[in-house]
Amino acid sequence: MTKSGRTFFLRPQDMIGIAILAILLIVVLPLTLDNFRLQFIGKYLTYAFVALGLVLCWGYAGILSLGQGVFFGLGGYCMAMFLKLEASSVENTKIQTTPGIPDFMDWNQITSLPWFWEPFRHLSFTMLAVILVPAIFAFVVGFAMFKRRVGGVYFAIITQALAAILTILIVGQQGYTGGINGITDLRTLNGWDIRTDSAKTILYFICVGLLLACILLAYFVKSSKLGRILVAMRDKEDRVRFSGYDVANFKVFVFCLAASLSAIGGAMFTLQVGFMSPSFVGIVPSIEMVIYTAVGGRLSILGAIYGTLLVNWAKTSFSETFPELWLFGLGGLFIAVVLAFPNGIAGLYQTYVAPRLGPLFGGATKRRDATPPAPSSSAPAAAE
């Protein structure tokens, strides 16, 4: 037991919140939804990995990235390359001019597999690449920017530009990436057919398990000395720098961590949906991912998960009924977050629900070491 009364790195209300989320995802939703709707929830949960990374990067460190779709896409493309190579065996592609390579390469008169595709024949390499490729890319970008003290709106614009550049690059290199259509017709994972309903249900539970593990990782970071430095860095960066800490290194680390979390979501998206395309990499999906986090509360780990589920459920429901009005609804939702409940769903919980539940935790909701609110001049925030 620590001085603040916590067991391990979780508060009592944190453990209860995680347990409620786990019961909802593992028991309630699978029992109440059919396979079709449950697959939608699985797809939504892949975006929750991005929101989780944004809580750490944007909420706690104050680094707003408008290009998280880049890392989501990199993770998704790494997994798609492995699955596509498995689906492109000589037997499956014998009608092509060049059997044994992906169909879109054959259509573009490419006669041999490019060298950078070769390692993706191995699942072990692919799993490492899903984590390391986005992290390395984030390290290069972060090191170049943060060492030069580029931050705030300038960093946000740069990440947005990166999302646009990568989208253009993927579309332009059609022979190597599948172009605008992306990498499609993904069938098996090491011989296991991922297109069946039973496989998609299993992948849903795998996604839930990975998400819960990442949530615990996020709570560990939040409660550690690193988490306290991130909050201090967000609020008084110069003071942290004058205390002897290299602020740039902390920013690079949390940016790489957020990138890796996003990439895990991208890989699970590819497995569950069965394709990956540049439409999930660009500016629009990246901004949508920020909205998920803002609606849930950018300082709330669990709030970001619920925000992702809520916004995507609303997107599916409204786009089915009023497809032409959804984008207006999304914009209106973000405006409502800024004006009506700037702390997101988590802020509403803290204001109206937590005070009534406080006695259950012996007043734990007003802990001395609670994360201080973000400055009101920044984007919407929510206290955990």
Model's pTM, two decimal places?
0.89
Q: Which two tokens stand for residue 271?
A: 């497995």
Residue 86 has pLDDT above 60, yes or no: yes
pLDDT at 376: 44
pLDDT in tens, 329-347: 777 777 877 787 777 888 7
SS3 for 249-269 is HHHHHHHHHHHHHHHHHHHHH
Which pLDDT score, from 0 to 100, does residue 320 have?
73
* Amino acid found at 296: G
Q: What is the pLDDT of residue 9?
A: 81
Whether residue 194 contacts residue 187, with contact meaning beta carbons closer than 8 Å, is answered with yes
- Residue 302 pLDDT grade (very low, low, confident, very high; cuts 50, 70, 90): very high
Interval 192-211 mean pLDDT: 95
Sign of CA dihedral 59, 11, 41, 331: negative
pLDDT, position 361: 53
The answer to whether 302 and 309 have CB atoms below 8 angstroms apart is: no
- Gyration radius of the chain's alpha carbons: 21
Spell out the domain ranges in the chain: 12-358
Gap between the Cα atoms of 41 and 22, Å rounded = 14
Each residue's pLDDT tens digit, 1-59: 444 444 468 888 889 999 999 999 999 999 999 999 999 999 999 999 999 999 999 99
What's 154-206 look like in SS3?
HHHHHHHHHHHHHHHHHHHCHHHHCHHHCECCCCEECCEECCCHHHHHHHHHH
φ, ψ for residue 182, nearest 5 deg: 80, -160
What average pLDDT score do residues 224-239 get?
91
Phi-psi region of 190 (alpha: psi -120 to 50; beta: other; left: phi over 0): left
Average pLDDT taken over every residue of the chain: 88
Q: Terminus-to-terminus CA distance in the chain, angstroms?
A: 21
Indicate whether 381 pLDDT > 90.
no
DSSP E strands in the chain: the ranges are: 188-189, 192-193
In Å, how far from its chain's centre is CA 177?
22
pLDDT in tens, 363-378: 444 443 344 455 543 4
Q: How large a percentage of the chain has pLDDT more than 90?
A: 70
Note whether 192 and 242 are within 8 A (CB): no
Q: What is the DSSP letter of 353?
A: I
CA separation for the pair 127, 29 (Å, rounded):
28
pLDDT at 328 over 60: yes
Mean pLDDT (whole number) for 55-75: 95
Residue 341 CB contacts under 8 Å (≥ 6 apart), including other chains: 347, 348
Cβ contacts of residue 139 below 8 Å, gap of 6+?
252, 256
**Contact of 60 with 254, CB cutoff 8 Å:** yes
Q: Specify the DSSP element, H or E, that contains 73.
A: helix 68-87
Distance, CA of 42 to CA of 45 (rounded, Å): 5
Residue 229 contacts by C-beta under 8 Å, 6 or more apart in sequence?
240, 245, 250
Q: Check if the beta carbon of residue 138 is closer than 8 Å to that of residue 71.
A: yes
Cα separation, 225 vs 231, whole angstroms: 10
The strand pairing partners of 183, in sequence order, are 276
pLDDT tens-digit series, residues 98-154: 899 999 999 999 999 999 999 999 999 999 999 999 999 999 999 999 999 998 899
* Token reading at 345: 């769903």
Of all residues in the chain, the percent with pLDDT exceeding 70 is 91
Q: In the structure, what pLDDT confidence band is assigned to residue 355 with cuts at 50, 70 and 90?
A: confident
Per-residue pLDDT at 1: 45
- The Cα 186–Cα 77 span in angstroms is 12
